[in-house]
Amino acid sequence: MTQQIIIATGAFFGMLSVILGAFGAHALKKILSTDQLHSFEVGVKYQMYHAIVLLALGFNANNITSAIYWCFTVGIILFSFSIYGLVLSDAKGKKLRFLGPITPIGGLLLVSGWFLLLISVF
């Protein structure tokens, strides 16, 4: 994985989390319940946290493996985007239940990325 790809991915996810956070705080505030809005915010926060980690890793790409990059990237997509889909579909009265099991898989990938990063230090 090249340094530019890692940084671009982090920047893309960071930008998107700001957009989605603003969308949630303004446009969705009127149509989502408090619990739904909280869940949406969790997706945005985790996306931003991992975007920042990707940026940091990209600027120090000498120790980064493609496995760490892919765990974080796919983890963000599966975790955060499944939450967005669950919340938005639930707000429309047609909850996409198949997304429910996808969220923990994304979370497991995020944890795996952190574990791989930890063992890469040693």
From residue 48, alpha-carbon distances to 6, 75, 94, 99, 112 in Å are 14, 12, 27, 21, 17
* pTM for the whole structure: 0.92
Q: What percent of the chain has pLDDT over 90?
A: 88
Residue 92 DSSP code:
T
- Among 24-38, 50-64, 92-106, the minimum mean pLDDT is found in 50-64
